Amino acid sequence: MKVVITGGGTGGHLSVARAFLEEFYKQGFECLFVGSINGQDKAYFESDSRLSKKFFLQTSGVVNQKGFKKLQSLWQQAKALQNAIGILRKEKQIDFVLSVGGYSAAPTAFGAVLLGIPLFIHEQNAQIGKLNRILKPYAKIFFSSYLHSSPSRYYPISQVFFTQARVRKNIKNLLFMGGSQGARAINNFALALAEDIKQKGLRIYHQ
């Protein structure tokens, strides 16, 4: 099997991509990655020896941009789409493209649809992102832990979380972290509980 993994920008997308890569590699799949030169894509995958090839395209987010910056981002995405199509055409016999979302995924995901390569999408958020809403009708498989129609509602988890798992006898530190479309809810939740947590003698970290 030959698989192209695409998507990223932030850890919420990239950690899922890495969990899929771990499982695909274990099963003997040939894996490629297509991401962005921006965000954290290179930090996650540039030195990963499990990937036969890695490509990082010039892309940036579109949704939260306005005016000239939005036009600039759309132009980058259009140019990156051309590059992604070139990559997919050159890398023959691709069995499927797996998108984990984020602006990094757009060029390769659209390229897969245009070239007739099966597109699988994994959506991490309860509220489907704009890119995934557009691509969902064209995806062969759409995975989500929040949709009853999903063929699988399990979330990919890296093996390290099992090998290093332990039961804590007491709690001293509490970390709030989040991103993407859940960030505001997590931030507000952390601030609302901060005083009560402090009174219990716990140290609070908020990323």
The CATH number assigned to the domain with range 2-158 reads 3.40.50.2000
| Residue-wise pLDDT tens digits, 15-63 | 999 999 999 999 999 999 999 998 889 999 999 999 999 999 988 776 6
Residues of the chain with CATH 3.40.50.2000: 2-158
| Residue-wise pLDDT tens digits, 83-101 | 999 999 999 899 999 999 8
H helix runs in 51-201, sequence order: 67-90, 106-115, 130-135, 160-163, 183-199
